[in-house]
Amino acid sequence: MTAQLSKDSIDIGIVTTNAPECLAFYRDVLGFEDVGESPVPGGTIHQLLCGTSSVKLMTLIKPPRAKAAPGGMRGSTGYRYFTISVTNLEEVLAACAAAGRSVVVPPSELGNGGWRWRSSSDSPRPRSTSWWTR
């Protein structure tokens, strides 16, 4: 059996205790389209579009008991990062710097002609987002 996909991308949900900070990063710094917020049992979801993918920022009324394990990709199992492909890496880096965001791993060239880097949104999670460009 093969899954019959109804969409050419996946969506990601990020639980945060600081929705305004996350919105400021993804919407205002990176330019993701804000398609609104919706109440859900126990909280609110802010939905943003990144191409055909949806980035859903969830804020809970009662903050979660546990925080994501520290240590980056090697700190724990489970979802640890996501990748966004861009063609204007220099502009994205400049926008992050202008907004006071840190680049936690500087750009490095990949063997396939692309580049990668990670940036912190300075919010509780995700601590890093991987970016690929060609």
- Residue 36: left (phi > 0), alpha (psi -120 to 50), or beta? left
User: Cβ(58)–Cβ(43) under 8 Å?
Assistant: yes
Q: With respect to residue 1, please indicate whether it lies within any of the assigned structural domains.
A: no
The band of 51, judged by pLDDT with boundaries at 50, 70 and 90, is very high
Domain extent, residue 43, equals: 12-63+71-133
Q: What is the pLDDT of residue 133?
A: 45
Domain total in the chain: 1
Could you read off the pLDDT of 57-75 as tens digits, one per residue? 999 999 888 887 777 777 7
> How many Cα atoms within 13 Å fall on the side-chain side of residue 123?
20
Q: With respect to residue 34, please indicate whether it lies within any of the assigned structural domains.
A: yes
Q: With respect to residue 5, please indicate whether it lies within any of the assigned structural domains.
A: no
**pLDDT average, residue stretch 9-21:** 89
Q: Any idea what the CATH number is for the domain that residue 82 is in? A: 3.10.180.10
Q: With respect to residue 28, please indicate whether it lies within any of the assigned structural domains.
A: yes
Q: With respect to residue 98, please indicate whether it lies within any of the assigned structural domains.
A: yes
pTM of the model as a whole: 0.75
User: Cβ(103)–Cβ(96) under 8 Å?
Assistant: yes
Rounded to the nearest 10°, the torsion over CA 5, 125, 101, 111 is -50
**Number of other CB atoms surrounding residue 130 within 10 Å:** 17
- From the list 127, 81, 75, 83, the residue with the least C-alpha distance to 101 is 127
Mean pLDDT for the chain?
Answer: 79
Kindly state the percentage of the chain with pLDDT values over 90: 28
The band of 127, judged by pLDDT with boundaries at 50, 70 and 90, is very low
Q: With respect to residue 81, please indicate whether it lies within any of the assigned structural domains.
A: yes
Q: With respect to residue 110, please indicate whether it lies within any of the assigned structural domains.
A: yes
